[in-house]
Structure 1
Amino acid sequence: MMGFRVMALIMLMAVLMCYLSCVESIVRHYQFNVEKKSISRLCSSKPIITVNGKFPGPTLYAMEDDIVIVKVVNHVQDNVTIHWHGVRQIRTGWADGPGYITQCPIQTGQSYVYNFTLTGQRGTLLWHAHINWQRATVHGAIVILPKRGVPYPFPKPDKEEIIILGEWWKSDVEVVINRAMKSGIAPNVSDAHTINGLPGPAPNCTSKGYTLHVESGKTYLLRIVNAGLNEELFFKIAGHQLTVVEVDACYTKPFKTDTIFIGPGQTTNALLTANQKFGKFIITLSPFMDTIVATDNQTATGIIRYKGTLAFSPTSLTTIPPRNATPMMINFMDSLRSLNSPKYPAKVPLSVDHSLLLAIGIGVNPCATCVNGSRVVAGINNITFVMPSTALLQAHYYGISGVYTDDFPANPPTPYNYTGNPPANMQTNNGTKVYRLTYNSTVQIVLQGTSMVAPESHPTHLHGFNFYVVGNGIGNYDPVNDPKKFNLVDPVERNTISVPTGGWAAIRFRADNPGVWFLHCHLEVHTTWGLKMAFLVENGKGPNQSILPPPIDLPKC
């Protein structure tokens, strides 16, 4: 009898453990109301597009492997989409968000439910609008906590803080880009940088800047997000070192730095130890650009204030990195390494099925109605991407012909000295082309910057996948010698990589996610000009390797 009771108790405990493991993944429900609102601290009466009336928008909190359901309701006159930047969207491309790539936009008065699972991810990501230039004000953080009972692979912080970096225009950003597209020249740069929506200080604006309150002896995990449109940024705190522990929701080998480099769409988690007894210390946010391209040269500032510090205490200052601090940028990028531990291994593809060289940069096309008789454009392998009127994923899933072709070139059609003197003909070809990948194939992409108009850094984002940055360099990629120096052991894992000005970056990933996935420069002006393309990853074997059916409320074009 006693044995029966013991057996029954063991079975009950087994059932309970099974139940707990089954319910470990929680369904997180959110509603995003897209609406216009005036934000007084921006020193402007102009209403901006916001989510739930907030700028930045609400933070989305979840745990690894949770199911996230977000109902987005459009209350503005513009079309809307939301992209969950860096979320892998395994087989759920319908929830990825880029307009006319994976979905038609949500029209005025309509709604759409994004439903996806945070499969095997933990860390900091961001969400943002993915149509036109709405990303300027429609953005927010995604915080994915580890599973219950799973610690961080670094000392547990006493507190966590979200720091969202952005750009601010006094005028309507859609008017800014529409005027530029009509004239054929570059749009105006932003008027100020922001830290958590606070410009502090900015010309003709008395708004106070961001303040982080800390206590001496405590450690803070800073979840830093660059939600800006067009600028890579330096982030620095006077008198303090930061320990980087994660980028793009992927753990890294910890390293100390006094300056963080972060491009649009990238995230960085860093530990800040409050090692002073008291005082106020300035936070600086300044642009990086190591070529002739114009930037918003305003430096946004905030303050770290220790508990017990008197209001009239002086603020400790710091030197701001030069705008063209290329060595600082390269040193930060080269310091990033995957954790590559038994629990968090670096699964770098060691063999390659598809090898692509993508020449990315700016060009010039004739334009009879433009100011100078020409229009600035951008392209990949001499192709300026043309947005379709039917979403690519819908066209692929339903077999709709005439929307795209699958002949995107794996190499530039005419090789040239990409970082040297530009060719006489800088004109690009227009096209809506995708590159087809077989399921589970391995891919290497060398992103080669060009100097046809001016060399620039290109923070390039791949939807639907993480990738490993196995190499980078200045000048033209050498396919014979450069691969000999690739890091195939612990390269950093990311979803957005800054391609060096006048240089290249090599990435590798496994195409284990069927669907249509966008690749584009995350400088919004370059995306608008056409620096974008898409990969079509075919279904594998069986339903578990195939795209899920579209939801019933998928917006119509």
Structure 2
Amino acid sequence: MHSPLQITSPHPHRFNFQAHVAFGRQTHPLWLNNTAASLRDDPYRFYNWSVTYGDIYPLGVRQQGILINGQFPGPDIHAVTNDNLFINVFNSLNESFLLSWAGIQQRRNSFEDGVFGTTCPIPPGKNFTYILQVKDQIGSFYYFPSLVFHKAAGGFGGIRILSRPLIPVPFPDPAGDYTVLIGDWYKANYTVLKTRLDRGHKLPLPDGILINGRGPGGAYFSVEQGKTYRLRICNVGLQNSLNFRIQNHKMKLVEVEGTHTLQTSYSFLDVHLGQCYSVLVTADQPAHDYYVVVSTRFTSKILTTTGVLHYSNSAGSVSGPIPGGPTIQVDWSLNQARSIRTNLSASGPRPNPQGSYHYGLINTTKTIRLANSAGQVNGKQRYAVNSVSYVAPDTPMKLADYFKIGGVFRAGSISDNPTGGGIYLDTSVLQADYRAYAEIVFQNDEDIIQSWHLDGYAFFVVGMDGGQWTTDSRNQYNLRDAVFRCTTQVYPKSWTAIYVALDNAGMWNLRSEYWARQYLGQQLYLRVYTESTSLRDEFPVPKNAILCGRASGHSTRPF
């Protein structure tokens, strides 16, 4: 079993290329992919991952987990802006497997997105090498298994994309950098949960909360008094928004899913499903141990877990009551969400300030309104978007599109506005023009919080409020410094609006991060289409692509 290439840097948020470039320009057989001309000038890294079952005990009982290189959670990916990643995944499970990369935008290359609408699964006993480029990106993200209900068994891990050495970072280099993966968890095997959903039933409340794969008291973060540390907090759970806090310590927010933010300090931070936040924490308290606390939000029964912030010169263990947090106050969470703004003076992956893109001065060319709903279809629980409950076709739609295979999907099979009708089943694909500038409104008329993610893109969260969205709602949009991210929440009986430049051609998954809802139909695919065949607009199918369904037997050689 091989470890990934490790390149160290004295600065944890910048990267020294001198040691890296010589290796990065060696010839490698996988480099003969037809994206090579575009990628070869940037450094690249190789990872070998073995995906296996293994016994895990996160909540004190034995479970069958999904491990990557024997680890639960899986290993972190450390990359730098524009790096090319070659991740060779060997599937040792007894069923097909796929990994997806939440937040890595895969410019012009939805074939590598790692969801079934675009990518054939890795069969048992086989391997596949993902070829990814973290093009013009920085920040904190994660990867996860996207097929069936594998996410409930593990297989996830953190992704951090560091800034290039000459790009200024708007805070001093911290003394340490921790990945903090939080999420709700079930004691039941993922196959039991999947069977329950297949039979048309809802899932019960999860059994507990994990921090980095560990239950109460298991997660441990060591600090030195007087020093400042970066925590990259991602909610990789299945069902619940979570609140994160550290006893007697403030958290200074500095980055959200690739965007440097105004550096506001918080005592509590709501992290909704699929979201990632970076905070700076200074060890400025008396030297002993402190609770790290994570609890569910907007639930009648609050689940809570703890970890430990350990001072290296600690005079004692954690003590006192576990600090409480907000419970069901939607207004408090909404106000916090509105306070998260882009730092307009900070550079992103390029030296120009983040505020140099005046998104609010551009006229939108299309408005898409998406409403979620729940109901029964043929006596089974289903979830829908604009009344359509997604069902997967027999062939990845991106491959069907590329090879011109008819009958797999219909562009426009879902309306771009709520229909108000009953739920029905279909393979929902929403057509959008390449380079359109779209306004997307998520309308949530249900009484639970929603969380939405769009693969292949980041977007500006321009507004959110209670009630029904109308054209007058645009009067309250933030058109100056809205946060730019890839996952957004929609509060109960509320709406959220985003602006997105559809400049990434391909077939992209737009989904609920509430995983049972995603599994039972609350998702669709956005077909960002162009007739251009130029590599500047979209890459062809990779030469190493696995072909399945009606795409089997086709050639991956260029036409």
Common topology (TM > 0.5):
yes
1:158 paired with 2:175, answer yes
- Whole-angstrom CA distance in 2 between matches of 1:302 and 1:314: 10
Rg larger for? 1
Q: Where do 1:469-488 residues align within 5 Å?
A: 469-479=461-471, 481-488=472-479
Distance 1:331 1:197 in 2: 30
User: Residues 57 and 63 of structure 2 are in contact (CA less than 8 Å); yes or no, is this contact kept in structure 1?
Assistant: no
- 1:401 CA displacement: 0.9
Q: Residue 460 of structure 2 aligns with which residue?
A: 468
Percent of counterpart pairs with the same letter?
27
Residue equivalent to 1:338: 342
2:51 to 34, 37, 58: 34
Question: What residue number does 1:3 align with?
Answer: none
What corresponds to 2:359 in structure 1? 348
Contact residue 364 and residue 427 of structure 1 kept, 8 A: no
Flag the 1:516–1:347 CA change in 2: closer, same or farther, 3 A. farther
Deviates more, 1:346-355 or 1:27-36: 346-355
Match for residue 441 of structure 2?
Answer: 446
The 3-state SS of whatever aligns with 2:325 is coil
Instruction: Give the alignment of 1:121-520 within 5 angstroms.
Output: 121-136=137-152, 137-182=154-199, 184-200=200-216, 208-289=217-298, 297-311=302-316, 313-341=317-345, 342-345=352-355, 346-348=357-359, 350-367=362-379, 375-407=380-412, 408-414=414-420, 427-451=422-446, 455-479=447-471, 481-520=472-511
Letter in 1 for 2:133: T
Shift of 1:176: 1.4
2:463 touches 2:497 (CA, 8 Å); kept in 1?
Answer: yes
- Secondary structure at the aligned position of 1:38 is classed as strand
CA contact (8 A) 2:175 2:229 kept: yes
- Give 1:315 deviation, angstroms: 2.1
Distance 1:317 1:280 in 2: 13
Quick one: distance in 1 between partners of 2:539 and 2:336? 39
Change (3 A) 1:86 1:319: same
Distance of aligned partners of 1:506 and 1:159 in 2 relative to their CA distance in 1, 3 Å threshold: same
Once the two structures are superposed, residues 344-400 of structure 1 have per-residue CA deviations (whole angstroms, 9 ceiling, x without a partner) of 234526211111111112223342xxxxxxx22111111111111100111111111
- Does residue 47 of structure 1 match 2:64? yes
How big is the shift at 1:325?
2.6
Give the residue type in structure 1 aligned to 2:547: K
SS of alignment partner, residue 196 of structure 2: helix
The offset of 1:226, in angstroms, is: 1.1
CA distance in 2, matches of 1:340, 1:409: 36
CA spacing shift, 1:363–1:261, aligned 2, 3 Å: same
Partner of 1:105: 121
Matched to 1:459, the amino acid is S
Could you list the runs of 5+ residues in structure 1 that have no partner in the other structure?
A: 1-15, 201-207, 368-374, 415-425
Q: 1:314 to 1:433 in 2, by over 3 A?
A: closer
**Aligned CA distance change for structure 1 residues 210 and 57 (closer, same or farther; 3 Å):** same
Instruction: State the alpha-carbon separation in 1 of the partners of residues 72 and 359 from structure 2.
Output: 38
Amino acid at match of 1:348: Y
Corresponding residue for 2:5?
A: none
Shift of 1:81: 0.4
Partner of 2:197: helix, strand, or coil?
helix
Larger displacement relative to structure 2 (402-411 or 81-90): 402-411
Q: Which residue of 1 aligns with 2:130?
A: 114
For residue 181 of structure 1, report the CA deviation from its aligned partner. Answer: 2.6
CA distance in 2, matches of 1:366, 1:114: 38
Letter of the aligned partner of 1:43 in structure 2? Answer: G
Letter of the structure 2 residue corresponding to residue 181 of structure 1:
D
- Distance in 1 separating the partners of 2:173 and 2:292: 23
Kindly tell me: are residues 555 and 257 of structure 1, through their superposed partners in 2, closer, same or farther at Cα, counting changes over 3 Å? Answer: same
Q: Which amino acid aligns with 1:305?
A: H
Q: Please give the alpha-carbon distance, in whole angstroms, between the structure 1 residues aligned to 2:396 and 2:318.
A: 55
Question: Could you tell which deviates more after superposition, 320-329 or 436-445?
Answer: 320-329
Does the C-alpha gap of structure 1 residues 524 and 68 become closer, same or farther in structure 2, counting only changes over 3 Å?
Answer: same
Query: Are 1:192 and 1:199, in contact at CA under 8 Å, matched by a contact in 2?
Result: yes
Deviation of the 1:211 alpha carbon = 1.7
CA contact (8 A) 2:197 2:203 kept: yes
Q: Deviations over 1:17-70 (max 9, x none)?
A: xx99x9783211111211011125553333211111111100001100100110
Q: Letter of the 1:500 partner, please give it.
A: Y
**Corresponding letter in the other structure for 2:269:** I
1:443 deviates by 0.8
Task: Report the Cα distance in structure 2 between the residues aligned to 1:128 and 1:153, rounded to whole angstroms.
Answer: 29
Q: Tell me the secondary structure at the aligned position of residue 329 of structure 1.
A: helix
SS in 1 for 2:261: strand
What residue in structure 1 maps to residue 11 of structure 2? none
Given that 2:185 and 2:238 are in contact with CA atoms closer than 8 Å, whether structure 1 keeps it comes out as: no
In structure 1, C-alpha distance between the alignment counterparts of 2:86 and 2:321, rounded to whole Å: 44
Letter aligned with residue 396 of structure 2: A
Instruction: Report the more deviating stretch, 82-91 or 544-553.
Output: 544-553
Q: Are 2:291 and 2:318, in contact at CA under 8 Å, matched by a contact in 1? A: no
* Root mean square deviation of aligned Cα: 2.0
Residue aligned with 2:375, SS = strand
Q: Which whole-Å CA distance do the structure 2 matches of 1:405 and 1:347 have between them?
A: 35
Deviations 1:275-301 (A, max 9, x none): 1131221111001126x7xx7x33110
Deviation at 1:317, TM superposition (A): 3.9
Contact 1:217 1:274 in 2 (8 A): yes
Letter in 2 for 1:456: I
1:556 maps onto 2:547 in alignment: yes
Secondary structure, in 3 states, of the residue corresponding to 1:91?
A: coil
Unpaired runs of at least 5, structure 2: 1-17, 26-40, 346-351, 549-559
Structure 1 stretch displaced more, 221-230 or 543-552:
543-552
Deviation at 1:147, TM superposition (A): 0.5
CA contact (8 A) 1:238 1:316 kept: no
Q: Provide the rounded CA distance (Å) in 2 between the counterparts of 1:485 and 1:308.
A: 50
Letter in 2 for 1:215: E
Q: Is 1:91 aligned to residue 96 of structure 2? A: no
> Could you report, residue by residue, the CA deviation over 1:391-432 in whole angstroms, capped at 9, with x for unpaired residues?
011111111111111122111124xxxxxxxxxxx7301111
SS in structure 1 of the partner of residue 86 of structure 2: strand
Whether contact under 8 Å (1:84, 1:126) holds in the other structure is yes
- Normalising by structure 2, we get a TM-score of 0.86
Could you tell me how far 1:330 is from its partner in structure 2? 1.2
TM-score (norm 1): 0.87
CA, structure 1 residues 39+433, in 2 after alignment: closer, same or farther (shift >3 Å)?
closer
Structure 2 counterpart SS, 1:508: strand
Tell me how far apart the structure 1 counterparts of residues 114 and 212 of structure 2 sit (CA, whole Å).
24
Contact 1:514 1:545 in 2 (8 A): no
After superposing the two structures, state which structure 1 stretch, 547-556 or 495-504, moved more. Answer: 547-556
Separation (CA, whole Å) in 2 of partners of 1:314 and 1:264: 28
Distance 2:474 2:133 in 1: 35
CA contact (8 A) 1:379 1:532 kept: yes
